Amino acid sequence: MRPRDCYARPAVIDDDVRATLESAARGEGTLLALTGAGISAESGIPTFRGKEGYWTVGSREYHPQQMATHAAFTRMPREVWRWYLYRRTVCNAAQPNAGHRALVEADHTFTDRFVLVTQNVDGLHLRAGSPPARTLQIHGNIDFMRCADECSITLYPVPPEIGPKTRDDDLSDDELALLRCPSCGKPTRPHVLWFDESYDEELFRAASALHAAADAELLLVVGTAGATNLPLQIAAVVARAGRPIIDVNVEDNPFAQAAREYGGHALRGSAAQLLPKLVAALAAARPAC
């Protein structure tokens, strides 16, 4: 049996990778980065699809795929908010790492040519300095809420009066009262894309992400396993256009396969290890003004 990573390059930037980066830097299309849970895991945020994301209500244990649904919120809004406020505490305790900072440098270097699409709801890219206008948070941001009754699509910060939460902390009636829409007074919900919901442009900038993919000179995929639909669509659009994909991950995934098949590269290593090197090589190849 062949090793699962037999086609992946080691965590180095060799001449072939450098040539791909140089060609992309000298082109005119978008330099597109797509990030997933792997980059945040390096900052200490667990992947909540795993055991860390399980949540107990009474005598029943719920999986993340059961909690992160509109159906669950309809049945037990207090418990779903408790879970998200605990997750928010974990996210807010983490700090951006070298991978996040490297993508900020890429944005500073290439400005309007650079677009970042992230599946992560932790806000670490924004805290590192990535500009909101070019950071497409396609699964939302856990620091924000919006009207559950959909009186508008306005996003509101989670009230600062609601402090850090542990797994065992209750959500008081006073705190629940704070989680109401400032516009209409109805309950709010976390601003995240749930498993039983669909991508859209207004809330999650899905069309903008696909437009960036259609214009991409290069797709840099970082730390995602390809478990959701829109990221796979983004990679498919780039591959069909004949543009290279560079996958940065610690293990095998569908993006690495696409990278190999369409003239790109699969690099085994962490975002904090590899992104600073990749971005430096891109920046060095940028044409002089």
Alpha carbon distance 168, 267 (integer Å): 40
Answer whether 213's CB lies under 8 Å from 239's CB. no
Q: Is 139 a catalytic residue?
A: yes
Joined together, the tokens standing for residue 2 give: 């062949």
* Strands of the 140-147 sheet, one edge to the other: 156-157, 140-147, 188-192
Q: Choosing from 139, 191, 211, 265, which is the catalytic residue?
A: 139
- CB neighbour list of residue 245: distance below 8 Å, 6 or more residues apart: 218, 219, 220, 221, 235, 238, 239, 255, 258, 259, 262, 264
Catalytic positions, written as ranges:
139
